[in-house]
Structure 1
Amino acid sequence: MKVGNNDRRKPDTASPQREEAVIFADLAALCASPGFAHAIAYFCHRDNLIRFQSEVTTYDLARLHTGEQLTHTEISTLIGLLSRQSIDYALQPLAVTQGVDFH
């Protein structure tokens, strides 16, 4: 298992790069969408929960540092963008909240 390789997905260089302000505006709009608070809760659970059997091992902790998880700063940014307007706590289907297709 690789630990701490920080191999974030590289942007598609074939597509034209978008301006940071445009990306941030899109992210702010996403955070304002109904039920996004539940998606943030899912990210926090997925990326910060330590799963173990009887004792915590270095292997259990290593999965928290693969570079695929959102950082605390990224999650804090999402929470900040979410809190800029009144929060709609409407529940969305799991496929929407967790970004997976269950079919």
Structure 2
Amino acid sequence: MKVLKIIGLTLLGIVAIALLAAAFMRKEYLIEREITINKPKQEVFNYIKMIKNQDNFSKWNKADPAMKKEFSGTDGTVGFIYKWDGNDEVGTGEQEITKISDGER
């Protein structure tokens, strides 16, 4: 019986330490990734501002290639709207270009 009591108290102590540590840990995390693109800045900007080009690198497009897409306006200009309706993983949403600062981030 004494051995079971020691094992129980040890497990309780481990759980208490884990909960105490979790209480003092940060609740927010920041993950940053960086990639170097060996192209002129203007060429990259002109490619990225075209929302339809996102299909070439979007993980959501790969998650649901059959998702329904709707475009209105001229791609790469203020007012262009991209709407999608996909599976449960992708969901439904809308993206609109509201401002373009040429050559800037």
TM-score (norm: length of structure 1): 0.25
Structure with the largest fraction of strand? 2
Instruction: Return the index of the structure with the highest Cα Rg.
Output: 2
Q: TM-score, normalised by structure 2?
A: 0.25
Q: Which structure has the higher relative contact order (CA within 8 Å, separation 6+)?
A: 1
